[in-house]
């Protein structure tokens, strides 16, 4: 999953889908220390399976 994260180089973060939990309006990203972050779905830019892009946000 590629999502918008303002402040990091390129404003994009790539994470494996197995590190998230889906909720109603956001996904929860859990890190190794056990803390979690809620990421709203509107920040998702791409969903990939390997190198193949399964879904990409339309440019507005």
Confidence category of residue 59, pLDDT binned at 50, 70, 90: confident
Q: For tokens 């507005």, name the residue.
A: 60
CA atoms of 30 and 17, how far apart (whole Å): 11
Q: Which pLDDT score, from 0 to 100, does residue 55 have?
A: 97
Strand 26-30 and strand 2-4: the pairing is unpaired
CA atoms of 34 and 43, how far apart (whole Å): 22
pLDDT, tens digit, 9 for 90 and up, residues 23-57: 999 999 988 888 999 999 999 999 999 999 999 99
Q: Is pLDDT above 80 for 17?
A: yes
0.75 cut: is pTM over it?
yes
């Amino acid at each position: 999953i590629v999502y918008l994260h303002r402040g990091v180089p390129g404003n994009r973060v790539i994470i494996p889908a197995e590190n998230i939990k889906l909720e109603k309006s956001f996904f929860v990203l859990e890190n190794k220390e056990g803390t979690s972050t809620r990421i709203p779905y509107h920040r998702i830019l791409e969903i990939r399976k390997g190198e193949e892009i399964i879904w990409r946000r339309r440019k507005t």
